[in-house]
A and B are shown apart, each in its own frame.
Chain A
Amino acid sequence: MTNDVAISLNTAQRLYWFGRYVQRAETLLRELVNSYDYVIDRDVDDGRKLYAKLGVELDYSNALDFLKQGVYGEHSSSIESIIRWARENAIETRHLLDERGFAALNKIHNHIVAGRDSVVSPTSLEEMIDDFALILGIFSSELGRPKAYNFIRLGQYTERFDLILRLYSDLDLVNAELEGMNAIARRLNDSYQPLVISATDISEVLDGVNGVISRVIADKTSSQSQSQG
């Protein structure tokens, strides 16, 4: 039996952004760990190139410092700030979230805050990736509130596509998975018009992907809303 509650505009936006930030944290953690090896073995500038794709000029002196800057650097894509935003959105929607999932995220946040003055090791980041996989798994097992979960999933899809396009410009991959996103959006809003990707220009596709939320919810400003993150 489901126990779906009416979801307000604010809550819908928070759930969506929660999904985005969790996905962003998990993906960027993976990218950081991968790039760490590249910085050591192949190309000392690999980390700079990675962050340049996100619009961030990252400076570091060695591989460990690269991790430190990736996690704690003063930029909008730092893992610390992404997790902080994920937590902020989770706090505002925790009445709809699985308690264990919330606690797992909060623990990661507390761990990150407490470790600010410590060295960041790749092992600790790998553990964090596992924790995020656990969080996403917990939410996927939440059967009682499907609408809330679907907003999280929509956020995850959007973020995943956004990063695939920004980091790898892989239009085919986005196209292959697009129906999944459209299906979730349709479940959230019967009158949703599916997104079709016909353009080849990445920035145009990015606009389309990031605009899906505004076809689902009534607030036309939501896709650009920075109040959520």
Chain B
Amino acid sequence: MIEPVSPEYKKFYDIFESVDQTKVSEFKDFLDANAVNFNLFKDGSFIERSFPFDMIPRIIPKEEFDHLEAGIIQRVKALNAFLNDVYGEQKILNDGIVPREYVDSAKGFLPEFMGVISPKGIRTHISGIDLVKDAVTNKWIILEDNLRVPSGVSYPLTIRRAFRHTYPEFFESMKISKIKQYGDQLKAAMDYVNTGGLNVVLTPGRYNSAYYEHSYLAKITGATLALGEDLIVENNEVFLRVYNGERRRVGAIYRRLDDDFLDPQEFDAESLIGVPHLAAAYRAGNVAIMNSIGNGVADDKGIYYFVPQMIQYYLNEEPLLSNAPTYLPYYEKDREYVLANIDTLVIKDVAEAGGYGVLFGNRLTPKEREEIIAMIVADPRRFIAQEVIEFYDLPCMMEGEILPRKADLRAYVIHGEEISVSMGGLTRYAMEEGNYLVNSSQGGGFKDTWVVEL
């Protein structure tokens, strides 16, 4: 079901009908010429692939976005408080709001970092909050919080510029919120938590799927783009190995690699892309790691269930945005419900991401159904179940036709001295009709997101 046409959308279509639609091809030319890639590994091969783009934006009325923004800021505040608490006094566990065993068994929880204080008390520097708009209730619903290494922000930022060049008509006639300040906001957040020294974007390298983004973010913030081997830790301080043999102190690292690969001394000893002893420098408070080490506990799919309670617990507020109705097989009552209604639910493996480990109950063969039931019974903590959200399709231009495709929204939040939500975001759509998996790593495309005021 396509979202009803708002007055803001109507304005877009009025202009759309009057512009030269053959210029749409310029977007693909632009993305190809600039190698705006989201690369894929398929069957063991590296494939350079420009990220498919659809020119019809998602349009969100400003008033609606204001509500979203408030709800997202509230959520990120609570998640940051949760992380500080979980790695500190653990009040929320002691008070029984979140079951201790849920945290202790979360893959992303790193008890060896208990007591470590992140500079300025910020752990969720850059968040990507995934939402969909429920076609039944017409309300936005949070699907997922990404608090480790959320990617994608560079694509709407890049395409917005191309859009303004190709079709200035929209920007002349519509009041579309600007997003270009993202770079300044990110730089300000880096500066705010910086412990003295350079700002660095740490990349796993050119063969990472989001390498384009790493490079882009370094460019717009003026940070140094570094590989793990470019950094060295001495006496618990991090330094950049400058080309002439000098070393320059590093105060903030926006890392674009997971905890597992960050420091071979601390995590995966086989990691060739990390920085030995970086975790020790972080522990000593000598460098800000953005996002902080151990954030995975807060965006665990099982912990997601408890975010509304966190908002009430830490902020003493009612959540402004809802979760998708979620069941934890860990609780006996929920488990019974899940097993009885598995055909109507979505089952998610909490350890997976990027659209992997997601099973739709109504598509399971009897054998698969039997297997997943056995797995849930054997290891209930490993799964969550959710009601299928019938979220809106968005209109997409495909081979000259406008067709409906499922689409979500990733909102980007920067937590520096203030918390700010980028006035747009990345709208991802599925390539195939009826597909609910819109993830880039599943081959989906993207749209720009316009926050429009009439």
Partners in one complex: yes
Option from A11, A12, A13, A91 in Cβ contact (under 8 Å) with B35:
A91
Q: Given that A8-B226, A95-B225 are contacting pairs, would A110 and B33 also be in contact in the complex, using a CB cutoff of 8 Å?
A: yes
Contacts of A198 in B (CB 8 A): none
Among B219, B223, B248, which residue has the most Cβ atoms of chain A within 10 A?
B219
- When the two chains form the complex, which single residue of A95, A216, A218 contacts B215, counting CB atoms closer than 8 Å? A95
Cα–Cα, bound, A189→B224 (Å): 19
A218 closest partner in B (C-beta): B245
Q: Is the CB of B215 within 8 A of A6?
A: no
The residues of A that contact B223 with a CB separation of less than 8 Å are 5
CB neighbours (8 Å) of B211 from chain A are: 91
Which of A3, A8, A9, A92 is in CB contact (< 8 Å) with B206? Answer: A92
Q: At the interface, yes or no: A94 with Cβ under 8 Å from chain B?
A: yes
- In the complex, the answer to whether B215 meets A94 with C-beta atoms within 8 Å is yes
B261: chain A residues at CB < 8 Å are none
Closest to B197 in A: A6
Q: Is A107 touching B244 in the complex (CB atoms < 8 A)?
A: no
Contact in complex: A12, B243 (CB < 8 Å): yes
- Residues in B with CB closer than 8 Å to A13 are 243
The A/B interface has a contact count, at CB < 8 Å, of 71
Q: Does B229 contact A (CB under 8 A)?
A: yes
> How many angstroms from the CA of A8 to the CA of B211 in the assembled complex?
17
B268 within 8 A of A: no
Residues of chain A at interface, number, CB under 8 A: 27
Tell me which residues across on chain B come within 8 A of A225, comparing CB atoms: none
Evaluate contact between B198 and A6: CB separation under 8 angstroms: yes
- What 0/1 readout, one digit per residue, does chain B (225-250) give for beta carbons within 8 Å of chain A? 11101100000000011111100100
In the complex, whether B182 has a CB less than 8 A from a CB of chain A is no
* B33 and A95 contact, CB distance less than 8 A: no
State whether the Cβ of A7 lies closer than 8 Å to any Cβ in chain B: yes
Decide: A217 and B34 in contact? CB cutoff 8 A. Answer: no
Q: Report the separation of the CA atoms of residues A13 and B230 in the bound assembly, to the nearest whole angstrom.
A: 12
Bound together, the chains give a CA A99 to CA B198 distance in angstroms of 24
Cβ-defined contact, B32 with A110, below 8 A = yes
- Smallest CB separation, A186 vs chain B (Å): 12
User: Does A221 make an interface contact (CB < 8 A)?
Assistant: no
Task: Enumerate chain B residues within 8 angstroms of A3, measured Cβ to Cβ.
Answer: 222
Residues of B within 8 A of A7 (CB): 224, 242-243
Interface residue B216 (Cβ < 8 Å from any Cβ of A): yes
Q: Which of A88, A91, A92, A217 contacts B243 (CB 8 A)?
A: A217
- Does B293 sit at the interface, judged by CB under 8 A? no
B287 proximal to A (CB < 8 A): no
A9: which B residues are within 8 A, CB to CB? 230, 241-243
In the assembled complex, B132 has its CB within 8 A of some CB on chain A: no
State whether A6 and B35 are in contact (beta carbons under 8 Å apart), knowing that A189-B244, A218-B244 are contacts in the complex. no
Q: Closest residue of chain B to A87, judged by CB?
A: B35
- In the bound assembly, the distance between CA atoms of A14 and B13 in angstroms comes to 46
Query: Given A6-B198, A6-B248, A102–B240 Cβ distance below 8 Å?
Result: no
B218 at the interface (CB under 8 A from A): yes
Is there contact, CB below 8 Å, between A95 and B216?
A: yes
Q: In the complex the two chains form, is B227's CB within 8 Å of A8's CB?
A: yes
Q: Is A10 an interface position by the 8 A CB rule?
A: yes
Task: Give bound CA distance, A223 to B381, whole Å.
Answer: 55
Interface members, chain B 353-369 (any A CB < 8 Å): none
CA distance A152 to B240 in the complex (A): 21
Tell me whether A33 is interfacial, beta carbon within 8 Å: no
CB within 8 Å for A218 and B219 given contacts A10-B227, A91-B35, A110-B32 = no
Query: Does A188 belong to the interface (CB within 8 Å)?
Result: yes
8 A Cβ contacts from A88-106 to B: 88, 91-92, 94-96, 99, 102-103, 106
Residues of chain A with a CB closer than 8 A to B226's CB: 8, 10
- The answer for the CA separation of A171 and B230 in the assembled complex, in Å, is 37
Cross-chain contact A106 with B35 (CB below 8 angstroms): yes
Interchain CA distance A189-B241 in the complex, whole Å: 15
- A12 contact set on B, CB distance < 8 A: 243
Which of B33, B229, B245, B248 is within 8 Å of A10, CB to CB? B229
Q: How far is the CA of A96 from the CA of B227 in the complex (A)?
A: 15
Min Cβ gap B47→A in Å is 14
Q: In the bound complex, what is the Cα–Cα distance between A106 and B223 (angstroms)?
A: 24
In the complex formed, the residue of A with least CB distance to B250 is A6
For residue B245, give the distance in angstroms from its CB to the closest CB of chain A.
Answer: 3
CB distance from A151 to the nearest CB of B (A): 8
Given known pairs A6-B198, A8-B240, A106-B34, the reply for A95 and B219 (CB within 8 Å) is: yes
Could you say which residues of chain B place their CB within 8 Å of the CB of A103?
33-34
Known A95-B215, A95-B219; contact A6-B240, beta-carbon cutoff 8 A:
yes
Task: Write the A1-41 contact mask toward B (1 if CB under 8 angstroms, else 0).
Answer: 00101111111110000000000000000000000000000
Instruction: Assess A11 versus B222: contact at CB under 8 Å? Given A6-B248, A106-B34.
Output: no
Q: How far is the CB of A153 from chain B (nearest CB, A)?
A: 15
A101 CB to nearest chain B CB (Å): 11
Knowing A3-B222, A95-B216, say if A218 contacts B243 (CB, 8 Å): yes
User: A224: shortest Cβ distance to chain B, in Å?
Assistant: 17
CA distance A9 to B35 in the complex (A): 24
B229 CB contacts on chain A under 8 angstroms: 10
Residues A178-195 near B (CB distance < 8 A): 188-189
- Give the CA-CA distance A77 to B219 in the complex, in Å: 32
Contacts A9-B230, A217-B243 known; list 10 others, CB within 8 Å: A6-B224, A7-B224, A8-B227, A8-B243, A9-B241, A11-B225, A92-B206, A94-B215, A96-B219, A188-B243
Pick the 10 closest A-B CB pairs, nearest first: A218-B245, A12-B243, A8-B230, A95-B219, A95-B218, A103-B33, A95-B215, A217-B243, A9-B243, A6-B224
What are 27 A-B contacts defined by CB distance under 8 Å? A6-B198, A6-B240, A6-B242, A6-B248, A7-B224, A8-B226, A8-B240, A9-B242, A10-B229, A11-B225, A11-B243, A12-B243, A13-B243, A91-B35, A91-B211, A94-B215, A95-B215, A96-B219, A102-B34, A103-B33, A106-B33, A106-B34, A106-B35, A110-B32, A189-B244, A217-B244, A218-B243
Taking Cβ atoms with an 8 Å cutoff, the residues of A that contact B are: 3, 5-13, 88, 91-92, 94-96, 99, 102-103, 106-107, 110, 188-189, 216-218
